[in-house]
């Protein structure tokens, strides 16, 4: 019949590859975050450590951990939003891949950032994490974003008038 078109045949698409993209994409972005974290915190700028109010180098470890937390937390928000935007046919596989990728990305970021040398070889201010619990921020943020969006969607659907 003229004007009638057949429906496209579903094939491997974006949702089939999304778990792999979240797993390996976050790991690769962890390398970028590691370099950015190292660049921002080897000689912390004033907006990181709060100068001129606080001028002590004793706050540098806190600032380094804080910058790492913010960078990995932002990646966690993006990964969590990717999970809830395209759940696909296997949402638990997608969430698991996102959580594993977040953990791998945070580990790679910390490993790369701490292995890069200081600017001056005589400088003892090596970039490192002091509160290792910040490695869990990225997977935690992914889980919280997915949980909050899923709960909100469920409550809105539950309260919708038929």
Q: Give the residue extent of every domain in the chain.
A: 17-43+58-117+126-159
Predicted local distance difference test score (pLDDT) of residue 27? 93
- Select, from the ranges 82-91, 116-125, 140-149, the one with the highest average predicted confidence (pLDDT): 140-149
Q: Identify whether the C-beta of residue 33 lies closer than 8 Å to the C-beta of residue 69.
A: no
Across 106-122, average pLDDT: 80
Residue 6 CA, chain-centre distance (Å), reads: 41
> What is the reported pTM?
0.79
How far apart are the C-alpha atoms of 160 and 162, rounded to whole Å?
6
CA distances, 162 to each of 151, 153, 154 (Å): 19, 16, 15
pLDDT tens-digit map of 7-37? 444 455 555 788 888 899 999 999 999 999 8
- Say if residue 125's pLDDT is above 80: no
């Amino acid at each position: 019949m003229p004007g009638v078109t057949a429906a496209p045949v579903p094939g491997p698409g974006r949702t089939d590859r999304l778990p792999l993209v979240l797993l390996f994409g976050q790991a690769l972005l962890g390398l970028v975050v590691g370099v950015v974290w190292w660049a921002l915190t080897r000689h912390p700028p004033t907006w990181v450590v709060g100068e001129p109010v606080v001028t002590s180098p004793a706050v540098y470890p806190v600032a380094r951990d804080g910058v790492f937390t913010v960078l990995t937390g932002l990646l966690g928000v993006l990964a969590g939003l990717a999970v809830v935007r395209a759940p696909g046919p296997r949402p638990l596989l997608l969430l698991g891949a996102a959580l594993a990728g977040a953990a791998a990305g945070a580990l790679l970021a910390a490993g790369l950032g701490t292995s890069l040398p200081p600017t001056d070889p005589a400088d003892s201010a090596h970039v490192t994490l002091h509160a290792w619990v910040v490695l869990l921020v990225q997977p935690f943020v992914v889980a919280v974003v997915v949980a909050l969006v899923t709960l909100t969607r469920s409550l809105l659907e539950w309260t919708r008038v038929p």
